[in-house]
Structure formats: C-alpha cells, structure tokens
C-alpha cells in the first residue's frame, strides 16, 4: 500500500514566521534609524579635535652665565618657582653704581636748591643781578633732571638684576629644556617652556554643515582616544570668526575655472568643566571626540 503524501500544512506557518521575522527586522531597523537620526539632531560630534592650552616660552631677559638650573624636563612647577639663575655679580655692581650716582645727584640738587634760595633772596633785595639768579634757576633745573635720570638708571639696573632669577609664570610642567649650568645665554634666548595644564581646552573643527545649532554655552561630552571609557564634561566657549583655511599660511584661491566646492571646517573652542582634569591626565595635542548636546 502506497504511503500518503504529507499535507503542506506547515508551509503556511513557515511563511507566517518568515513574514514576522522580516517585519521584526524592518521594525528594528526603522526604530534604530529613528533613534540614530534623533541622536544626530541632538548630538553633534567630530573626531577632528585635539587638546590645546597655554605654552609659555621661557627666555632670558638679560645676557649672562648660567649659575643654576633648578628644574628638569617634565618636572611640575608652581607659579613663582625659580627655574634658572644667572650670575648676578655684574648686574649687582651696576645697580650699586647706579645707586651711588643717584645719591651724588641728590646731593648736587640739594646744593643747587640752596644756592637758588640764596640767589633769589639777594635778587629780591637788589643785592644780586638777575643773571646770577637765572643761572641758579637753570642749575637747579638741570640738577632735578639729573636726579630723575639717575633714578631711572637705578630702576633699570635693579630690574636687570632681578632678571637674573628666571621664574615660572604659572603652574605647569617643564618641557623642551635646552639650557645647562655654565652656559652663556643671550637676551631673548629661549631656555625652556612651561606647559600650563590647569586651563586646557579643546579645539574642535566642525563641518560648516554641522554648525547650525551649535552655540556658546552648550554642554559637551568629551572622550579621549588615550583613555577609553573616560568621559570629560565641558562647555562650548566660543566659535572662531572664520574657517580654518581662512587663517592658514596659504589661503585657498578659488580662481575661475578650477573651483571645487569643499565643505569647510570651523574651529570651536571647548573648555573643560572645573575639576574635570584634576589629576592632569590630559596632554596638549591629544586626539579627542567632543559631542555637543545641541538640544
């Protein structure tokens, strides 16, 4: 006896399952697309961003022989810490000479004023001539001018003496140290740099098509390539008044016949919230991804 062929009763169920799977995939895709599109309208990100900050170039303000170098590369320093000391002997001698000259000019002025007072009294009594009185007036005026000049020379000499102690202008870390004890340095010669880590910020280059809703004051979330999983909070500080290419060394020239439209990028300055980098793990030049919360 021939076997009965099984009825295709499961084919309808299979088609129903396949339809449900396709519908679920489509629904998931639409939902994901909706949330992704919504995320893009409320979160504007870029990976063309980096950490920046203040770098103070430390240079000698007077010439001299380096007596002491008090720091090494990557050392943390405080504002006012002595970094380098030059031999102050020559500048101390000049300051002392200027101080002695000032005292001499003051003594000369006192004598001239005394002579002027005497000449004035004699002139008013018609005992002395006007010529003698005028000469006394002129001598006193010259002495006053010489005192002012001596005071200025002393001030400059003392200032130059103070420049033999080179101090840190801010809290930060030493880098690019190029000076050693015993070196002869010149006025204006760079010696090292101090990188200020207390006021780091982010420069983010956003496409011009993404700038519509970005405004100063908006909150920002910042991730760092070097520290996966760590997020820093920040805020949009300002927006540059031009695209990055506008301030380049060789700005683009769109001459007739060779114009190709390129989406420009506008630098946005983002400051970190207070206390966000209290351990100073960020470094200038690090790559970051800032996300501006536009809504």
253 pLDDT higher than 70: no
How far apart are alpha carbons 92 and 68 in whole angstroms?
17
94: exposed, middle or buried (Cβ count in 10 Å: 0-12, 13-18, 19+): middle
Average pLDDT over residues 78-90: 96
- Encoded tokens for 53: 């900050």
Summarised one tens digit per residue, pLDDT across range 109-165 is 999 989 888 888 887 777 778 788 888 889 999 999 999 999 999 999 999 999 999
1 pLDDT higher than 50: no
Domains in the chain with CATH codes: 44-53+198-249+260-293 (2.40.30.170), 88-163 (1.10.287)
Given this model, what pLDDT does residue 6 score? 54
Q: How many CA atoms lie within 13 A of 39 on its CB side?
A: 8
Given this model, what pLDDT does residue 249 score? 63
Q: 31: which residues sit within 8 A by CB, 6+ positions away?
A: none
Q: How many CA atoms lie within 13 A of 44 on its CB side?
A: 20
Phi then psi dihedrals of residue 54, to 5 deg = -90, 130
Weakest mean pLDDT among 2-6, 11-15, 234-238: 2-6
- Encoded tokens for 130: 């006007």
Given this model, what pLDDT does residue 12 score? 65
Complete DSSP assignment for 235-254? EEEEE-SS-GGGGSSS----
Given this model, what pLDDT does residue 11 score? 66
53 pLDDT higher than 90: yes
């Amino acid at each position: 006896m021939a076997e009965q062929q099984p009825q295709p009763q499961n084919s309808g169920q299979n088609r129903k399952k396949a339809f449900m799977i396709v519908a679920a995939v489509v629904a998931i895709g639409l939902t994901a697309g909706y949330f992704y599109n919504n995320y893009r309208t409320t979160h504007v990100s870029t990976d063309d961003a980096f950490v920046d900050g203040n770098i103070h170039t430390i240079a000698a303000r007077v010439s001299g022989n380096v007596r002491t170098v008090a720091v090494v590369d990557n050392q943390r320093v405080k504002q006012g810490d002595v970094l380098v000391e030059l031999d102050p002997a020559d500048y101390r001698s000049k300051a002392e000479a200027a101080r002695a000259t000032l005292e001499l000019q003051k003594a000369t002025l006192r004598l001239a004023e005394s002579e002027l007072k005497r000449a004035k009294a004699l002139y008013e009594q018609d005992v002395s001539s006007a010529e003698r009185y005028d000469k006394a007036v002129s001598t006193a005026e010259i002495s006053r001018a010489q005192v002012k000049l001596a005071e200025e020379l002393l001030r400059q000499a003392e200032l130059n003496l103070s420049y033999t102690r080179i101090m840190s202008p801010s809290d930060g870390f030493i880098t690019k140290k190029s000076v050693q004890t015993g070196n002869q340095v010149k006025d204006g010669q760079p010696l090292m740099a101090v990188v200020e880590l207390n006021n780091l910020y982010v420069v983010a280059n956003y496409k011009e098509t993404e700038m519509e809703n970005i405004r100063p004051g908006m909150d920002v979330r910042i991730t760092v390539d070097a520290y996966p999983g760590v997020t820093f909070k920040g805020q949009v500080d300002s927006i540059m008044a031009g695209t990055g290419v506008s301030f380049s060394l060789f700005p683009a020239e769109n001459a007739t016949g060779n114009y190709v439209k390129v989406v420009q990028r506008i630098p946005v300055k983002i400051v970190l919230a207070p206390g966000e980098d209290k351990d100073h793990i960020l470094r200038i030049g690090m790559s970051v991804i800032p996300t501006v919360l536009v809504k």
